[in-house]
Structure 1
Amino acid sequence: MSPVPRPPSHTHQPGPPFDAPAARKLRSALGMTPQHVAHNLRTSYGLPYVTQDLVAAWERGTETPTHSELTALAGALWCSPADLIGRPRTLREHRIARGLAPEDVARTVGHEFLAYVRMEESGQWRGTDRQTAALAELLGLTLPDLITVTGREAGLADLLRSAASTRWQAYVRPVGKIVPLDRRLLEAALRELHQSYQGHMVATLRWGDGGAAGEAGDTGRDFLDRIVEHFWTTVETRTS
């Protein structure tokens, strides 16, 4: 019998961030070969096109399983989909990591199914405060995760860059509208970001036009590019 080709949609459909080493480690711990996994996926999970070569490609990181393939692979390896996913970032990835169907999430948070699916596809959350709180509880979202999956991270990054490079005091209220943190904590975090960035700029001016100035300037730009990451690290440090 000739092999069944992988559906074209599966070769172009973006999947979740896949942790290839974890998949290989879990398979080895079960004493299974890629051939065993492929056979299980074909016979028990309705994926007739899966071969040992495809499983091996997933484990090497040269191919990425789709959402449905990853869910089936998790079943074959007796683990949760979350065990095979790198750090989820999108709403869809967090849902898959929890092993939930889109209709389950829509029903729990109180959204119409098609409206919820459109929000997953667009990356723009349109829920009320109550629905947002229900989503965070259902998917186990941290505050940084919630900001990201609801499509507010880009706006937060713009505000944080301005706070770091100009007067941070003017951005306490706008940032607070996105990030519901204690005002004193927010002020301290923005002040620290501002001081860190200004330190890079002072170093650039002090070193003049030499190579050190170029390195300081690059460091400053990198700091602004990763401003959201620096913000959450600062908040975590101050609350730990």
Structure 2
Amino acid sequence: MYSTPFSPAEARSARARVGLSTAQVAQAMTACGAPVRPELVEAWEYGSQFPTEPQLFALADVLWCPPTVLMGVEPRTLAEHRMARQLSVERLSQVIGMDPGHYRAAEAAQQWTGDYRQTKALVDALGLSLRKLIGVMGRNEELAGHLRTAIDGRWKSHVGPVATITTLNKTRVSDALRAMHAEFAEFSERYMGHVMARNDDSRLKQVAAERAAYLRRLVDHFWELIGDAGEAPPFHTVPTH
């Protein structure tokens, strides 16, 4: 089971900033619908126990700080991005129109299987871009593998897999892969041109270096070609309770 990230040191610092005692924190959390005893708040601050998600959200409200401060980490996983927005699994599932069990499984496996509409709703709710979501789900290497094969071979056969990974329209993916295939072909033509012309090694090395740099930026360049569709959607507030 996924454990809620929590930093005892940050919790102590946050409480000190607002000038509350552990008893006052417990009282305020109880008033917010998350009843706890002062002893439990102290246990959190000393790291002997850790809050549940609802307790983390209530504690963040009481201490007037974002959940990420108390989490002590920059969100890396889908679950952490959700918690950073103070969204429960049930609330986020409702927002994106997905069964909570299916969404919970996606978090646990770090594998997103939502359709285009659900994906758009997810990135909107979490304040992500589609591009960032692919990285959060750990699929950049998979995407890069398809791009490397596509630019140096039959790019059309990779339109479907890339569209599946990114949930992008196949036409948009096709346009990007076609452009990248043509760009990469230019490197081969220039290289062979220098070879046939018997140019010096420095010219060949320059072309080879440019080719290597292009390959290193494949994923970034793909998103540059995709343009606005890969960027963050307009933000709107999602009710958290």
C-alpha change, 1:107 and 1:194, in structure 2 (3 Å) is: farther
Match of 1:98 among 66, 80, 85: 85
Larger Rg: 2
Superposed, which structure 2 residues align to 1:128-139 within 5 Å?
128-139=115-126
Report if the CA contact (8 A) 1:106-1:116 is conserved: yes
Q: Which residue is 1:127 aligned to?
A: 114
Write out per-residue CA displacement over residues 157-211 of structure 1, whole angstroms, 9 at most, x where no aligned residue.
14536877x8964597568533557838x949x999962599xxxxxxxxxxxxx
The letter for the 2-side match of 1:141 is L
Higher relative contact order (CA 8 A, sep 6+): 2
Write out per-residue CA displacement over residues 134-176 of structure 1, whole angstroms, 9 at most, x where no aligned residue.
1111221123431145x4x24x314536877x89645975685
Match of 1:25 among 13, 31, 49: 13
Report if the CA contact (8 A) 1:18-1:64 is conserved: yes
Q: CA deviation at 1:40?
A: 4.4
Q: Which residue is 1:68 aligned to?
A: 54
Match of 1:54 among 28, 43, 49: 43
C-alpha change, 1:63 and 1:162, in structure 2 (3 Å) is: farther
The letter for the 1-side match of 2:63 is L
Q: CA RMSD in A?
A: 4.5
Q: Percent identity?
A: 29
Report if the CA contact (8 A) 2:89-2:103 is conserved: yes
TM-score of the pair, normalised by structure 1? 0.55
Q: Secondary structure at the match of 1:111?
A: coil
Report if the CA contact (8 A) 1:163-1:171 is conserved: no
In structure 1, C-alpha distance between the alignment counterparts of 2:9 and 2:222, rounded to whole Å: 31
Report if the CA contact (8 A) 2:15-2:21 is conserved: yes
Q: CA deviation at 1:129?
A: 0.8
Q: Secondary structure at the match of 1:51?
A: helix
Report if the CA contact (8 A) 2:8-2:44 is conserved: no
Report if the CA contact (8 A) 1:80-1:97 is conserved: yes
* Greater CA drift, 70-79 or 37-46: 37-46
- Alignment size in residue pairs: 189
In structure 1, C-alpha distance between the alignment counterparts of 2:162 and 2:221, rounded to whole Å: 17
In structure 2, C-alpha distance between the alignment counterparts of 1:132 and 1:233, rounded to whole Å: 22
Q: CA deviation at 1:67?
A: 1.9
The letter for the 2-side match of 1:77 is L
Report if the CA contact (8 A) 1:15-1:65 is conserved: no
In structure 2, C-alpha distance between the alignment counterparts of 1:115 and 1:129, rounded to whole Å: 16
In structure 1, C-alpha distance between the alignment counterparts of 2:221 and 2:22, rounded to whole Å: 40
Q: CA deviation at 1:83?
A: 4.0
Matched, 1:195 2:212: yes
* Unpaired runs of at least 5, structure 2: 188-208, 228-241
